Chains A and B, each alone.
Chain A
């Protein structure tokens, strides 16, 4: 029997420390929508999303009422559109169909305007990549991702070069809204096929037809738990994070299972990631500061983040029958009050963030950079992150926003969960010759495992 203290602990986590379900994401396969007519494919994509995910928001509302916990986002991820649209030879129409469907069923975002080109791109995929800026600029809810590298395949530097250009063009096309289009585009190394989080969610080709993936949250809960052991050593810190992550993840597992049953879908995974929001009390940076840094960005930031990331995984893994997605700690600058403050004060630099990406679950995420940053510099940042991911056998990602017309010291304001981003300086030393060489960076020795 549950006791009074346990009941009140759960209630406090939700009402005082921002415990919530960050997203219920339905993965949908669109292979059965493929036709040789681009227009017909787009129609079928629209019909399938509305048919299969039409109840997603209503079910989210029911579960939220039943367990008394906010479910912040309801999303859909689909088969990479570079594959779905290949036969019809046109992609933008599918992006618009996805956007229409997302609006019709009331979801927050739809992901999967994506391509997997880690080793090479087909002619169709290259055409698809070139369509991304227009797709992002002319839709509101469509998110896009490109996987340019993997530990098995190495890094496709031609794709890396193209992605730098995509980011620049998207920034220009959405210049009236602080280049917000770039917030909906992420470049991956070792992308995962069951990620419930945006902008990088897509339903991988190894996935079933209709799958529920759930992302939990709870940085505030972890920070509050750590505040009860101000003098504990780092073993105690880790144990406390593990216990808290276990509890948080159990709620994610419950919601994922309930949502799968109610929607007639398979239960996919629970993503353990600690996902911050710009709200006070919901910051990953503040957890690192609670562990003992004066401000995030200090020496020791990488070590504390490594500890946090590891403990979250260890606590969460036993709490869910299937853990997946990105599962670790997110460090999106604009979406985390502590990161924003540290970036504004100069405590946190892009160089430090790059080091942090070697030990957290993703990469350089939601970082605003000067609008005059060249495509080659953006590509080179992507290459650096991809190298970290490929060599360390982990997922890394880049979501940079070169804010059109703005420079260091100014801010980009995206609103809502996307937050506010102080524009951070990037090295202006040119990597252009390296990027223009093109070709591939070979897989590392340990990528050849068989």
Chain B
């Protein structure tokens, strides 16, 4: 099962390390990362495989949300189906 994590906020040291560390500890594989910084706003998209995750989607979503709050940025995860539904016919 694939999902996309989006991280949006003010750029600072350690964002990728924090998110990837959290994912590794929950047995979630990162398949792709892309990031940009536009006018000081950091935007990162991670494609992840959550098939072997040690926790449910809801729990993971809540943990990422908490981690985002700790870092002062927004971290969200969405199942790939919502993007496929919206952008493919």
Contact = CB atoms under 8 A, between A and B. Distances in A.
Interface of A: 2, 4, 6-11, 15, 61-62, 65-69, 247, 250-251, 253-254
Contacts of B6: 7-8, 11
Interface string B13-34: 0000000000000000000001
Contact of A67 (B74, B82, B87, B88): B82
Contact size range, B:
20 to 34
Given A2-B80, A66-B57, A68-B78, A8 B45 contact: yes
A68 B4 CA distance: 10
A4 B5 CA distance: 12
A8 B78 CA distance: 12
Contacts of B87: 2, 6, 9-10, 247
Contacts of A247: 86-87
Interface of B: 4, 6, 8, 34, 43, 45, 57-58, 61-62, 74, 76-88
A68 B64 CA distance: 12
* Majority SS at the chain A contact face: helix
Given A8-B45, A65-B57, A247-B86, 4 more contacts: A11-B6, A69-B82, A253-B85, A254-B85
28 contacts: A2-B83, A4-B34, A7-B6, A7-B83, A8-B6, A8-B43, A8-B45, A10-B78, A10-B82, A10-B83, A10-B86, A10-B87, A11-B8, A15-B74, A15-B76, A61-B58, A62-B58, A65-B58, A65-B62, A66-B58, A67-B78, A67-B81, A68-B77, A68-B78, A68-B82, A247-B86, A247-B87, A251-B85
A66 B88 CA distance: 19
B85 A68 contact: no
B10 to A, nearest CB: 16
Given A11-B6, A68-B76, A6 B58 contact: no
Contacts of B4: 2, 7
Contacts, number: 66
Contacts of B83: 2, 6-7, 10
A137 B76 CA distance: 42
A7 B47 CA distance: 11
B52 to A, nearest CB: 17
A7 B85 contact: no
A61 B59 CA distance: 12
A6 B34 CA distance: 13
Nearest to A258: B81
Closest CB pairs A-B (n = 9) = A68-B78, A254-B85, A67-B82, A65-B58, A6-B87, A250-B85, A2-B83, A65-B61, A247-B86
A68 B80 CA distance: 11
